[in-house]
Amino acid sequence: MPVTVKIPTILRRHVGDRPVVEGEGATLREVLDDLDRRYPGIKGSIVTNDGDLHRFVNLYVNDEDVRFLGSLDTKVQQGDTVSILPAVAGGR
Amino acid sequence: MSGFGFTEEQVLRYSRHIILPKIGGAGQRKLLDAKVLCVGAGGLGSPVAMYLAAAGVGTLGILDFDRVDLTNLQRQLLHDTDDVGRPKVDSAADRITGINPGVNVIKHDTVLNSENAFEVLEPYDIVIDGTDNFPVRYLVNDATQMLGKPLVYGSIFQFDGQASVFMPGQGVPCYRCLFPEPPPPGTVPSCAEGGVFGVLPGIIGTIQAIEAIKLIIGIGEPLIGKLLLFDALDMEFTTVKLRWDPDCPVCGKNPTVTELIDYDMFCGLPSGQPPLEAEHGVATTSVEA
């Protein structure tokens, strides 16, 4: 069940500079594991060694913040769009 | 326009606002009476300050400790080539006065920190976040929450931008509801290596100016509880929901951040320290300290 994963500029170097990739899995965690198999290193940019989301990165399924759904155990289904949202500070 | 106390010059200058049904004389009066602080006179601060000045915001505070550098001019339209080396608050004030001499410009040629933040922010109705680093972003968020003032947020990196409006109090989200803590130093690339597409702050800063004006006049649907994401390369705007976090360290039910914090500056690495790879996290800050 492929879901669409939107990759922010800062992480695109992990995925061959693609803005969007597809991931397989029934939960967000499975999708990230799937991505990490094909694009090694991307999961570590989003998830801590303990398996939690970094506090300065958020994931959205469609337009919902997954911290208010089921975090990495949030179920996803075909057609969902996962967005990765890093904290960015630039402004000058 | 009797009743609003406009001069003849103001009636003409603001005529295109005054004839707009949702602004009118009453809305223009609110703009003239408004006091807005722009934290940062750089990429985001430039369109914010210039459009708010043109719109007739009566009092515009400009906070920036920096001097104009040649590398700023690719995107910071407040400053001219001849301004290189001048304090940014001075060149910003000149530009603003050139656009609209009726604006009362207040220059804050200082670094915002936990010592002065309350005093600097207190006189203003609305604060605009146009900074370029995490420590001041968290400081401004926390201070506006504690003072009960709206914060118009914008941030940019390379080709991506974000904007939102954070209202004070419980039940509506602030920046810490979205990102509870700044990323640890060393997980971000240095400022200069990030780079920024010069037009991008023009888009995001202009959106911040729009949101500020909507808040002042009380029209439309500001980006409260919403985060606008802009991707310049794909020319795509996306809006996602922002939720109030009852566990938020500053606006949650049991706040743990109850006084202002000076986080270490980490736009780049301290000298003498080997550069760390930015592999551990994706958070980043952008061009120039």
Gyration radius of chain A's alpha carbons: 12
Residue B271 has pLDDT above 60, yes or no: no
Which residue, B66, B91, B96, is CA-closest to B81?
B91
Confidence of residue B276 (pLDDT cuts 50, 70, 90): very low
Q: Measure the CA–CA gap between B134 and B263, rounded to whole angstroms.
A: 8
Q: Which helix (H) or strand (E) holds B238?
A: strand B236-241
Nearest to B132 among A65, A87, A92 (CB): A92
Do the beta carbons of residue B113 and residue B161 sit within 8 Å?
no
| Residue B164 in tokens | 């939102």
Considering only CB atoms, B284 lies closest to which of A55, A64, A88, namely A88
Mean pLDDT within B248-263: 93
* Nearest CA distance, A73 vs chain B (angstrom): 19
Residue among B44, B50, B72 nearest B200 (CA): B44
Among B155, B240, B241, the residue with its CB nearest the CB of A88 is: B155
Residue B2: what pLDDT?
61
- Cβ atoms of B41 and B18 closer than 8 Å: no
Nearest CA in chain A to B204: A91
* Dist CA B275 CA B62 (whole Å): 34
Amino acid at A76: V
Q: How far is A2 from chain B (nearest CA, A)?
A: 21
A38-50 in b/e form (b: 16+ CB < 10 A) is ebeebbbbbbeee
pLDDT at residue number B184: 74
Q: What is the DSSP letter of A71?
A: G
Sheet containing B226-231: order of strands: B104-108, B59-63, B35-39, B126-129, B151-157, B160-166, B226-231, B236-241
pTM score, whole prediction: 0.90
pLDDT tens figures, B154-186: 999 888 999 999 999 999 999 999 998 888 776
Q: Residues near B268 by Cβ (< 8 Å), separated by ≥ 6?
A: B190, B191, B192, B289
CB neighbours (10 Å) of residue B225?
18
pLDDT-derived band at B190, boundaries 50, 70, 90: very low
Which chain A residues are closer than 8 Å to B267 by Cβ?
89
A9 min Cα distance to partner chain B (Å): 7
Tell me what the mean pLDDT of segment B222-247 comes to: 94
Arch. (CATH architecture) of B12-241: 3-Layer(aba) Sandwich (3.40)
Question: pLDDT averaged over chain A?
Answer: 91
Name the A residues in 26-45 with CB < 8 Å from any B CB. Answer: 41, 44-45
What is the token pair recorded at B30?
């609110």
Name residues whose C-beta falls within 8 Å of residue B163's C-beta, 6 or more positions apart in sequence: B152, B153, B154, B155, B204, B207, B208, B211, B223, B227, B228, B230
Q: What is the mean pLDDT of residues A43-72?
A: 91
Listed by start position, the domains of chain B span 12-241
Which tokens belong to B139? Answer: 């400081």
Residue type, B129: D
Q: Which of B131, B160, B242 has the CB atom closest to A8's CB atom?
A: B160
Q: For chain A, which residues make up each domain, given as ranges?
A: 2-86
Residue of B nearest to A91 (CA): B132
Model pLDDT, residue A91: 73
Q: What is the mean pLDDT of residues B264-277?
A: 42
pLDDT at B46 > cutoff 80:
yes
pLDDT tens figures, B143-155: 999 999 999 999 9
Chain A neighbours among B 173-212 (CB < 8 Å)? 178-183, 187-188, 194, 196, 201
Beta bridge partners, A6, equal A20, A83
| Calpha distance B78→B43 (Å, rounded) | 9
pLDDT at position B142 over 70: yes
Tokens (6 digits) for B280: 């551990």
CA–CA gap between residue B165 and residue B167 (Å, rounded): 6
Under DSSP, the state recorded for B18 is H
CB contact under 8 A, B284 and A89: yes
Tens-digit pLDDT profile for residues B53-79: 999 999 999 999 999 999 999 999 999
Return the SS3 of B165: strand
The top-level CATH class assigned to A2-86 is alpha beta
Window B:98-137, CB contacts with A under 8 Å: 129-134, 137
Q: Does B42 reach chain A within 8 Å, measured CB to CB?
A: yes
| Whole-angstrom distance, CA of residue B130 vs CA of residue B113 | 15
**Of B234, B238, B280, Cβ closest to residue A19:** B234
Looking at residue A55, its pLDDT comes to 85
Write down the pLDDT at residue B145: 98
How large a percentage of chain B has pLDDT more than 70? 88
Partner B contacted by A49 (CB < 8 A): no
* Residues B107-133 pLDDT 10s: 999 999 999 999 999 999 999 999 988
